[in-house]
A = this chain, B = another copy of it.
Amino acid sequence: MTVVAVCQLGLAVGEVESNRAAAAAAVVEAAGQGAELVVLPELCDSGYVFTGDAEARKLATPAADSPTLHEWQALAGGYHTTIAGGFCELGEDGLLYNSAALVGPGGVLAVYRKAHLWDAEKLVFTPGDAPPPVVDLPFGRAGLMICYDLEFPEWVRLAALAGADLIAAPVNWPAMPVPVGERPCDVVRVQADACVNGVFIAVADRCRVERGVSWVGGTVIVGPDGYPLAGPVTADEPAVLVASCELARARNKQVSAHNDVLTDRRPQLYRQVTG
């Protein structure tokens, strides 16, 4: 069993030092509960609700030279864990990316640039063109994608087909109206993503209003059958959730005597999907 943690943080745009401190405290708390993988929110160093490109640019750093990633490496080493979290990246091409990194004691294992940008992000960031990475870790294979990416089943499928046992998903889910008694659709979509692919998905969301934007607070760990193992929080408060995940379950895609969710696909009939 692998202990996975997801951290719901209250952050503030531009307050990079205190944001990093909040993330570090959550990592320490999660590691104290035995977490081998800790997931942090999207853009968790810079905050999210930028006034525009200029503000985001001031908060962005190159991945190779990011104090945020350096700190995560130190935390991963000191607390024997691996960290997946979002950061504001200045590309070597001078463009801004809404990125996430997977960082272990030995350094950065993967950097991923969000490929599907949400709303005003399109005014600030350049979308990534690379598929979600899947990294072989000692406890299993971890994929990485960000927030709105999860709303494109094609994208989640790519990670599953690439062998991800678990998808780590830093998010900032802006709150939308939810009918009484219903679970927010952001969480519902993740449940579906998990069960149609037979993978674990670990989502870390935001809390605390930022420049008028409030959040779903939907931090959750979902199992390969689509049901939550921890969360969703769905409250506007910080939280560190952990779940013991038998990641090997994601290697068996069988859902009945005659069905396997990946080999039952009929890719030759789906070609129109890519057009």
How far is A259 from B116 in the complex, measured between Cα atoms in Å? 10
Q: Which residue of B lies closest to A229 (CB)?
A: B179
Q: Which residue of B lies closest to A187 (CB)?
A: B188
Contact A131 B272 (CB under 8 A): yes
Contact A154 B119 (CB under 8 A): no
Task: Choose among B122, B131, B195, B273 the residue that contacts A189 (Cβ–Cβ < 8 A).
Answer: B195
How far is A183 from B228 in the complex, measured between Cα atoms in Å? 11
Of A26-34, A81-89, A260-268, the one contacting chain B is: A260-268
Answer yes or no: A143 CB below 8 A from chain B CBs. no
Q: Given that A179-B227, A273-B154 are known contacts, is A264 also in contact with B116, CB under 8 Å in the complex?
A: yes
Contact B257 A131 (CB under 8 A): no
Q: Which of A47-74 contact B (CB under 8 A)?
A: none
Query: Which residues of B have CB within 8 Å of A267?
Result: 154, 273-275
Looking at the assembled complex, report how far the CB atom of A215 sits from the nearest CB atom of chain B, in whole angstroms. 15
Task: Choose among B148, B256, B257, B265 the residue that contacts A154 (Cβ–Cβ < 8 A).
Answer: B265
Contact B270 A196 (CB under 8 A): no
Contact A258 B119 (CB under 8 A): yes
Q: Given that A154-B154, A157-B153, A227-B185 are known contacts, is A131 also in contact with B274, CB under 8 Å in the complex?
A: no
Task: Choose among B118, B119, B131, B153 the residue that contacts A153 (Cβ–Cβ < 8 A).
Answer: B153
Copies of this polypeptide in the complex: 2
Contact B120 A151 (CB under 8 A): no
Answer yes or no: A225 CB below 8 A from chain B CBs. yes
Q: How many residues of A contact B (CB 8 A)?
A: 54
Answer yes or no: A209 CB below 8 A from chain B CBs. no
Query: Which residues of B have CB within 8 Å of A258?
Result: 117-123
Task: Choose among B158, B225, B259, B261 the residue that contacts A273 (Cβ–Cβ < 8 A).
Answer: B158
How far is A121 from B131 in the complex, measured between Cα atoms in Å? 35
Contact B270 A225 (CB under 8 A): no
Query: Which residues of B have CB within 8 Å of A188?
Result: 188, 191-192, 195, 226
Query: Which residues of B have CB within 8 Å of A273?
Result: 154, 157-158, 161, 267, 270, 273-274
How far is A161 from B154 in the complex, measured between Cα atoms in Å? 14
Looking at the assembled complex, report how far the CB atom of A61 sits from the nearest CB atom of chain B, in whole angstroms. 25
A154-B273, A182-B228 provided; 15 other pairs, C-beta below 8 A? A118-B258, A118-B259, A122-B258, A131-B269, A151-B261, A153-B153, A153-B154, A155-B270, A158-B270, A179-B227, A188-B191, A192-B193, A267-B274, A270-B273, A270-B274
Nearest first, the 3 A-B pairs at minimum CB distance are A153-B153, A192-B192, A185-B226
